[in-house]
């Protein structure tokens, strides 16, 4: 099952190293927006602008679902007046070494580990009719998760995480902004959501083994052997 996938574990030492690498070393909150699609980046960046008004040292890691869109997303962000850097351009002439307000993740295979840097995570695909992506990844790092209204392809998992207070559905941009600001202003609530996230993931790990065991019990009950005929 999805709960039994191996999610990247990140030690405190690794997390500190990643924060230095991405220059996320200030005291402001870190928002990670994972697997975003066209139309979602605009929502996230506008909301991030509101966060900066209250938390000037905040940082946003924006992981585009299709890395071929990274250049156009960077142009949009730069046009709105924010400092922005693509992950793939770190250490090049595009990188002034000062650290950007927004980093676009345009590499493959890093998002799972980078969720560990977040204070709050938004999972993309959920504000467009693509459907939200894997919300268990950030939950496995003990992170509060926000999504938009379209979670039909992860419905069962979303309902469980929602019931346990781990994942909050925000139906529109205004709700997303209000909910995110509310969470950032309530560290105790964020902590409880994170703890609940880890509990849910741990409780459901081993589901594959339990399913196999149940199947084997049924096989015995009906006198059917796994190999050969009864």
Beta strand 145-147 with 120-123 is parallel
Average pLDDT per block of 10 residues along the chain, 230 residues long = 66 96 96 98 99 98 98 98 98 92 97 98 98 96 98 95 98 99 98 97 72 58 53
pLDDT score at 127: 99
| Domain residue ranges of the chain, discontinuous segments joined by + | 9-205
C-alpha distances (whole Å) from 69 to each of 38, 60, 115 are 9, 17, 21
Strand order in the sheet with 120-123: 84-86, 102-105, 59-64, 30-36, 120-123, 145-147, 167-169
pLDDT score at 126: 99
Q: Does residue 139 contact residue 164 with C-beta atoms inside 8 Å?
A: no
The model's pLDDT over 91-119, given as tens digits with 9 standing for 90+, comes to: 999 999 899 999 999 999 999 999 999 99
Q: 6: number of CA atoms within 13 Å, CB side?
A: 3
pTM, rounded to two decimals: 0.88
Residue-level length of the chain: 230
CATH superfamily of 9-205: Glycogen Phosphorylase B; (3.40.50.2000)
The H or E element containing residue 122 is strand 120-123
Cα 116 to Cα 18: distance, rounded to the nearest angstrom: 9
Q: Does residue 18 contact residue 221 with C-beta atoms inside 8 Å?
A: no
Cα 169 to Cα 93: distance, rounded to the nearest angstrom: 40
Strands (E) located in 47-101: 59-64, 84-86
């Amino acid at each position: 099952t999805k709960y039994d996938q191996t999610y990247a574990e990140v030690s405190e030492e690794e997390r500190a190293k990643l924060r230095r690498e991405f220059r996320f070393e200030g005291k402001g909150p870190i928002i990670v927006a994972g697997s975003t699609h066209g139309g979602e980046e605009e929502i996230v960046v506008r909301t991030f602008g509101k966060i900066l008004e209250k938390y000037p040292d905040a940082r946003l890691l924006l992981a585009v679902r299709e890395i071929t869109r990274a250049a156009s997303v960077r142009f949009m962000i730069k046009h709105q007046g924010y400092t922005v850097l693509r992950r793939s351009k770190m250490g090049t002439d595009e990188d002034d070494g000062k650290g950007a307000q927004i980093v676009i993740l345009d590499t493959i295979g890093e998002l799972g580990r980078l969720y560990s840097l977040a204070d709050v995570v938004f999972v993309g695909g959920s504000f467009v009719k693509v459907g939200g992506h894997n919300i268990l990844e950030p939950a496995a790092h003990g992170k509060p998760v926000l999504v938009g209204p379209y979670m039909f392809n992860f419905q069962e998992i979303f309902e469980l995480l929602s019931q346990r207070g781990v994942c909050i559905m925000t139906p529109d941009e205004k709700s997303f902004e209000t909910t995110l600001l509310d969470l950032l202003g309530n560290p105790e609530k964020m902590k409880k959501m994170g703890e609940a996230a880890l509990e849910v993931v741990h409780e459901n790990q081993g589901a594959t083994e339990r399913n196999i065991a149940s199947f084997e019990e049924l096989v015995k009950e009906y006198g059917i052997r796994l190999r050969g005929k009864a």
